[in-house]
Homo-oligomer: A and B are copies of this chain.
Amino acid sequence: MAQKVTIATVARHAQVSRQTVSNVLNAPHIVREETRERVRASIATLGYRANQAARQMRTGRSRLIAVRIEPTRDGINGSVLDRFLHGLTEAAGAAGYRVLLYPAADAAGEIATYDDLLGAYELDGFVLTHTDHGDARADWLAEHGVPFVTFGRPWDDPGRHSWVDVDGAEGTAQATRHLIGAGHRRIAFVGWPAGSGVGDDRRAGWRSTLTAAGLDPTGLDRETPDGIRQGEQVARELLDHADPPTALVCTSDSLAVGALRAVRELGHPAAVTGFDDTPVAQVIGLTSVSQPLAEVAARCMDLLVALLDGARPTPPDPVLLAPTLVLRQTT
């Protein structure tokens, strides 16, 4: 283990005071150019790295941001968080921040964790995922003055805080438009029960596109919890009908996988689209709506960094990104 290199070591090596070294790091413009360069050279030679703990003690900032990692539920949609995390870690690194993971099963447990995390590590900020109506986590953080951004809208009040989201309605609208363009007239929707922000948004895209094209959605809208079995069940009910739909727009790849099973088993030639473009969709050739997760992550970091590094409080900044329809064999 090499001898510890502190700011004092650098100061001695560069023949200046410690403070000058600190200035070179934190306010380079107030140091004479010649001195600045000499100090920088010393830093490079000695391999000096500012000690975060000491810096944090003085400034109260840790350059650490926290993200929750949740139990892989379905497995199918688990890869979404994975890709998001990777993008976030990269973007954070570029901005000089690191990502700290914390586990939490539910919202209550998550809030308890905030308290712990903030007390002990003084985290600079949070990135929340999976927002929903009346999100207690956002309320808690706002109340305690903790900077945060969310991947997902604050569904009750879009101006509440900074967020990044993907336009789910636009995603299902793209899928629906594509199906209409391919000649489909009876296009059903297999989605989650009404009441969730994300689910309702995706449903709205299908419905509005249908009515805009003069098609009637009546009797073609189904609600079910997420899951392959659930998707199959609901699709079966839709298809087992005198005048069955010829296409099914689904809120998730899990539901779409189930719907596809129903389609194949019943022998009805119906088109199916999913949502999230998971690996499963790629493998089974499922047409699916793809979210630009790397960009979502990068924009989340941008907003958070603006919040953290900004001199004055930034007004909430909403970012809505467009998804892409990835066409495959099921349409």
The residues of A with any CB-CB pair to B shorter than 8 Å are 1, 47-54, 56-57, 62, 64, 69-72, 74-76, 78-79, 81-83, 85-86, 89-90, 93, 98-103, 115-116, 119-122, 144-145, 228, 257, 278-280, 282-284
Contacts and interface: CB of A to CB of B under 8 A. Distances in A.
A284 B284 contact: yes
26 contacts: A48-B119, A49-B116, A51-B57, A51-B120, A51-B122, A52-B53, A54-B57, A69-B85, A69-B86, A71-B86, A72-B83, A74-B279, A75-B279, A78-B79, A78-B83, A78-B279, A79-B279, A82-B82, A89-B103, A93-B102, A93-B103, A98-B101, A98-B121, A228-B283, A278-B279, A283-B284
A54 B280 CA distance: 47
A90 B48 CA distance: 33
Contact of A56 (B49, B53, B75, B85): B53
Contacts of A90: 103
Contacts of A119: 47-49, 51
A57 B62 CA distance: 13
Nearest to A293: B72
Contacts of A98: 100-102, 121
A100 B99 contact: yes
A102 B82 contact: no
A278 B284 CA distance: 14
A284 B260 CA distance: 12
A62 B72 contact: no
Contacts of A284: 283-284
Given A51-B119, A98-B101, 8 more contacts: A48-B119, A52-B121, A57-B57, A72-B79, A75-B79, A75-B279, A75-B282, A79-B79
Copies of this protein chain in the complex: 2
Contacts of A228: 283
A276 B71 CA distance: 18
A255 to B, nearest CB: 12
Given A82-B81, A119-B47, A283-B76, A62 B53 contact: yes
A279 B75 CA distance: 5
A126 to B, nearest CB: 14
A72 B86 contact: yes
9 tightest A-B CB contacts, nearest first: A49-B119, A75-B279, A53-B56, A82-B82, A99-B101, A89-B103, A53-B53, A90-B103, A53-B57
Given A78-B82, A283-B284, A122 B53 contact: yes
Given A93-B103, A284-B283, A120 B75 contact: no
A57 B121 CA distance: 13
Nearest to A56: B53
Contacts of A89: 69, 101-103
A76 B280 CA distance: 8
Contact of A76 (B1, B47, B62, B279): B279
A145 B1 CA distance: 6
A48 B48 CA distance: 34
Contacts of A76: 279, 283
Nearest to A2: B144
